[in-house]
Amino acid sequence: MRLDELTRSDFPILQRIVNGRPLVYFDSGASSQKPRAVLEAMNRYYERSHANVHRSIHTLGEEATELYELARDAVQRFIGAPSREEVVFTRGTTDGLGLIAETIGRTLRRGDEIVVTELEHHSNLIPWQLVARDRGAVLKAIPIREDGTLDLDAFDRLLTPRTRVVAFAHVSNVVGTINPVIEIVRRARAVNALTVVDGAQAAPHLRLDMSALECDFYVFSAHKMLGPTGIGVLYGRRAVLESLEPGRGGSEMIKEVWIDRAQWNDLPWRFEPGTPPIAEAVGLTAAIEYLEKLGMDRISEHERALTRQTQEGLARIPGVTVYGPPANVERGAVVSFAVEGLHPHDVAALLDEEGIAVRAGHHCAMPLMRRLGVVGTSRATFSVFNSPDEVSLLLTTVAGLRSAL
Amino acid sequence: MTGATPSASSGLYSDVIRDRWRRPRHRGELPGANAVAEDVNPLCGDRVRMMLAVAPEGRITEARFLGDSCAICTASADVVADLVSGRSRGEAAALDVSDVLAVLQAEIRPTRMRCATLPLSVLAQALDGSAKP
Ligand SMILES: Cc1ncc(COP(=O)(O)O)c(C=O)c1O
């Protein structure tokens, strides 16, 4: 059975009729839909076990704490992290990248260098701009080639003994490029730079293994991987996490406090000030269990087939341009395209009339848009529940668009 | 599933919007412009530049626009250029989004309202001279 046939009935929202047509949801890259298992786990938690974590010495407090910490174990397993102390919960990718930029930022000196790439989401660019400005550091970007892949020769030329951080996306949210994490980490490590990987578009689609990637930090959001909004993960290599002062303060992250100083808590709580997103952690566990039951390899294969069908189908339509690596190169579950004579917003609006949800605009990657020479693109992204029939509908609808405005 | 083609009678875009998107009346450079502003819609990256030729006594003799923009934004910019031509600075500054929507004859959804209002905010910047050209 195909994955969409197996999973469709698990997603209540797919019953929606939009503009008189069955919803075709091709916007999981912005935020995925949630299977019933996730919704039910969160409801059950609120109905039976909710209390604050860590501080409550009563039955519900213990249950909540246990459920919250079980989520950490689920994430550790899901991403192949060597230990649970390396899994820090955040509010999402943006929060995690901001946290790590601020935290590393405090250790930077004037003239230190930060390397990002031309295809970053603003979440992995702006925090580094702020840090560079505050610390007098230099921000550089690895350029991309015509096909949306990174120019690694140029990367080598950017690396210097002053390079302290290399921050890059695992998978581009616009052109779908899968960046060679292991290779980039190897070259960064050769100059003793820390590596920060934005995994927002990879975690939902690829099997992850932190011990193989060997990056220092890896960040992602639950809401793009069938989980709830409001929680994300910051994985950090233990040795590096231990060497860092916490970037943000509050409860939970301390052991003992005096008026003028405090002793930090152990990992991972040192980086989790305040009441965490507990129900969201429960939902994330359910999402991970759901993905694991389907199997990440099978998910990748299903989404790759849809991606290829879309890419090849769109490329055959006169007046349609497809961005990013060619169809024979592996990419994430993302296809960005343009329809000649139509603005991406109008493409999305016209597709919405047919119940098809795609995203349009700059996708929070304005430097990449400038590099592609466009103001924006239309973008279809895929998840486990999407079917080849839905892709066919997209293709025939796009083919009819040029006469629609 | 049958392939559906959004028809030309699609309710989303009025005939006015379609027409002004295909054949804008006021698109292009305005060499003698003396009140100019340009801005972007941060949501989508749409960019509009409004150029006004204002006579010494304060009357707008001509208005043109350039834009990298969607159908709604382009049509709106074209209508704004129409509406301000021949008006005084004060009259142009008093122009409201409802005036533009009345000409466009379209139900603009909340998510697209910024597309319709961007040309007006660029107009305001051009008129008060605060924007850099
Ligand atoms: C590559 C990438 N990085 C970062 C983000 C930001 O994620 P969030 O909005 O969940 O913080 C996104 C999603 O919008 C993304 O696609």
CATH code of the domain containing A256: 3.40.640.10
Reported for A157-163, long-range contacts at CB under 8 A and 24+ positions apart, including other chains, are: A158/A113, A158/A115, A159/A115, A159/A187, A159/A188, A159/A190, A159/A191, A159/A193, A160/A113, A160/A191, A161/A191, A162/A111, A162/A112, A162/A113, A162/A138, A163/A112, A163/A113, A163/A114, A163/A115, A163/A188, A163/A191, A163/A193
CATH of the domain at B19: 3.90.1010.10
Say whether both A196 and A336 belong to one domain. no
Side chain identity at A149, as an amino acid letter?
Answer: T
User: How confident is the prediction along chain A (405 residues), in pLDDT tens digits per residue?
Assistant: 999 999 999 999 999 999 999 999 999 999 999 999 999 999 999 999 999 998 778 999 999 999 999 999 999 999 999 999 999 999 999 999 999 999 999 999 999 999 999 999 999 999 999 999 999 999 999 999 999 999 999 999 999 999 999 999 999 999 999 999 999 999 999 999 999 999 999 999 999 999 999 999 999 999 999 999 999 999 999 999 999 999 889 888 999 999 999 999 999 999 999 999 999 999 999 999 999 999 999 999 999 999 999 999 999 999 999 999 998 899 999 999 999 999 999 999 999 999 999 999 999 999 999 999 998 999 999 999 999 999 999 999 999 998 888
- Separation in Å, CA of B11 to nearest CA in chain A: 9
Taking the Cβ of residue B5 and every Cβ of chain A, the question of whether any pair is shorter than 8 Å is answered with yes
Say whether both A317 and A204 belong to one domain. no
The catalytically annotated residue of A64, A104, A208, A364 is A364
Q: Which residue of B has its CA nearest to A359?
A: B44
User: Does B113 map to a domain?
Assistant: yes
User: Does B133 map to a domain?
Assistant: no
Say whether both A54 and A12 belong to one domain. no
Say whether both A210 and A252 belong to one domain. yes
Say whether both A184 and A119 belong to one domain. yes
Q: Which residue of B has its CA nearest to A387?
A: B1
Say whether both A244 and A326 belong to one domain. no
Identify the domain containing residue B100 by its residue range. Answer: 15-128
- Separation in Å, CA of B58 to nearest CA in chain A: 35
Say whether both A327 and A278 belong to one domain. no
Identify the domain containing residue A310 by its residue range. Answer: 3-30+295-403
Contact A345 B44 (CB under 8 A): yes
User: Does B4 map to a domain?
Assistant: no
Say whether both A119 and A236 belong to one domain. yes
> What is the A248 CA–ligand 1 centroid distance (Å)?
21
Please give the Cα distance from B76 to A63 (Å, whole number).
57
What are the strands of the beta sheet with B60-68, ordered from one edge?
B35-40, B47-54, B60-68
Say whether both A25 and A56 belong to one domain. no
Amino acid B133: pLDDT: 43
Say whether both A390 and A265 belong to one domain. no
Tally of domains within chain B: 1
This model of the complex carries an ipTM of 0.83
User: Does B2 map to a domain?
Assistant: no
Contact A360 B44 (CB under 8 A): yes
Say whether both A169 and A246 belong to one domain. yes
User: Does B67 map to a domain?
Assistant: yes
Tally of domains within chain A: 2
Q: pLDDT tens, B52-97? A: 999 999 999 999 999 989 999 999 999 999 999 999 999 999 999 9
Say whether both A9 and A80 belong to one domain. no
Q: Which two tokens stand for residue A86?
A: 């390396």
List all residues 6 or more positions away from A146 whose beta carbon is below 8 Å from its beta carbon: none
- Separation in Å, CA of A343 to nearest CA in chain B: 5
pLDDT band at B9 (very low <50, low <70, confident <90, very high): very low
Give the residue, by CA position, lying nearest to ligand 1 atom 7. Answer: A93
Taking the Cβ of residue B65 and every Cβ of chain A, the question of whether any pair is shorter than 8 Å is answered with no
Which residues share a beta bridge with B38? B49
Q: Is A364 known to be catalytic?
A: yes
Give the residue, by CA position, lying nearest to ligand 1 atom 14. Answer: A30
Q: Of A274, A292, A310, which closes a domain?
A: A292
Residues near ligand 1 with C-beta < 6 Å?
Answer: A 92-94, 121, 123-124, 169, 173, 198, 200-201, 221
